[in-house]
Structure 1
């Protein structure tokens, strides 16, 4: 594997620091997680964006969250077509095997994937229209959300589209039979959130008003 190289030294140094402090001080807890297996209370579907630190936002410890990240925190509709589906597989495992009680879709401000979709649907990103663009074809999931945007500035509409990404994912989650069954049996609850990176804000989708409101 000639294309593989050793880890950068700064990561090795950080690892040894973690092993000597956080791990050493909580060794019994890590051993318990290893021997008893994971029992997360919630699954979080968030964006790949490095600025979105899910465990820090909610103050979660190891073993508390089952986390799946992808571009723009999107969930595709249920399509058991024989192809590989990383997001769908993660959802299936969380709901049917781990039996999480909560499934949270977490969007965020200044999302690059959402901006790409906005530009693509506005005719300003022809490269994303190419069939060979993985990002473009993934962001096709959000095209219906773009069509629902109200008038306003580009900045406001992009924020609206970030909210639409969360709504789209929540709607698509209910197309999965095992998700719908768990929700209807009151074994699973779905939640939509949006994180403002610059301000540290968190909004939650209110199911009654269908608006995002500060928590």
Structure 2
């Protein structure tokens, strides 16, 4: 805790004075980000840092393996779906980016179920992307390629699942909302974007 408090003190002395007016404006006018980023909870991947975004610029939803579940109309707890709904229906974001990353532990658990058996929630959560895993394994790739292929396929699946939400689909159809796929390589610092051909290519 002490190292975090030390970071807070540095923030108060160095960052806060220069950002005070920005925070005060956000407090008075509220947030109005144009982009929702659905990212992994991995501590090595910070969307705000990757996109060099300041306070109020992007609305971020983070979960294990940056997964979007399909729309379900029930009374269960839907944290990710609720956050997406708030961003789309209340904040009226114009873009949604599903951003995966290299060396994702959630995707590793999807590919190697035994690694998550002792955990209470991991297996059922990553099973959202079972279709992506099965598609990759059906291609019979060499083992070292499975991880990256599955990371990419899970992003594509999450983009398809977004379209099961009627208020996402209607806005996309009307041209009011655009969906994007991206993947960040924590080893090289390179962000790749999903292109129209279904391939991930460097954004630079």
Give the conservation status (yes or no) of the 8 Å contact 2:35–2:93.
yes
Are residues 1:83 and 2:73 paired? no
Q: Structure 1 runs of 4+ off > 4 angstroms?
A: none
Greater Rg over alpha carbons, structure: 1
Are residues 1:161 and 2:154 paired? no
Distance 1:21 1:127, change over 3 A: closer
Q: 5+ unaligned residues in a row in structure 1: which ranges?
A: 1-7
Give the aligned partner of residue 73 of structure 1: 66
CA RMSD of aligned residues (A): 1.2
Give the aligned partner of residue 114 of structure 1: 107
Give the aligned partner of residue 20 of structure 2: 27
* Inter-partner Cα distance in structure 1 for 2:154 and 2:31: 29
Count the aligned residue pairs.
201
Deviation digits for residues 117-167 of structure 1, max 9, x if unmatched?
0012xxxx1753x7x730000011111111111222212011100001101
Shift of 1:30: 0.8
* Inter-partner Cα distance in structure 1 for 2:125 and 2:37: 19
Q: 5+ unaligned residues in a row in structure 2: which ranges?
A: none
Residue 170 (structure 1) aligned to one of 140, 159, 162:
159
Give the aligned partner of residue 146 of structure 1: 133
So what's the TM-score if we normalise by structure 1? 0.90
Deviation digits for residues 145-198 of structure 1, max 9, x if unmatched?
111112222120111000011011000000000000111111110000011110
* Inter-partner Cα distance in structure 1 for 2:17 and 2:161: 42
Give the aligned partner of residue 3 of structure 1: none
